[in-house]
Amino acid sequence: MTTLMDTGSTATESRSLERSFEVESPGGYARTVVGRLAYFDEEAQTYMVLTRSGVLVRVPLRDITSSHGVARRGPIVADALSRMSRLRNETTVSPA
């Protein structure tokens, strides 16, 4: 089951803030993922995080070593959607 993260209500404002996740996989690969929580995949026990560049990244719960909120830097979701729309328009071929 997938749980969407509510980003439209002031009561859940903290869920829409950017978060930084320190992640280390069992193979030793360490990385930092920064973005907003898009949804939680309960079956996979994985957060899907929308990064600043508009990419959805999997963050498995078992691999998170730490997490904290990040100060807002602007409308990340609007920026990401705008970038995705521009890319789609650039790669779409109009019928002649």
Would you list the domain boundaries of the chain?
2-91
Question: pLDDT digit string (tens) for 44-92?
Answer: 999 999 998 999 999 999 999 988 887 665 555 556 666 666 666 666 5
Taking 3-state DSSP, the helix, strand and coil percentages for the chain, each rounded to the nearest 5, stand at 25, 40, 35
Of residues 20 and 2, the one with the higher pLDDT is 20
The yes-or-no verdict on residue 17 having pLDDT over 70 is: yes
B/e letters for 1-39, b = 16+ CB within 10 Å, e = fewer, are: eeeebeeeeeeeeeebebbebebeeeeeeeeebebbbbe
Residue 7, pLDDT > 60, answer no
CATH code for the part of the protein at 2-91: 2.30.30.520
pTM for this entry: 0.58
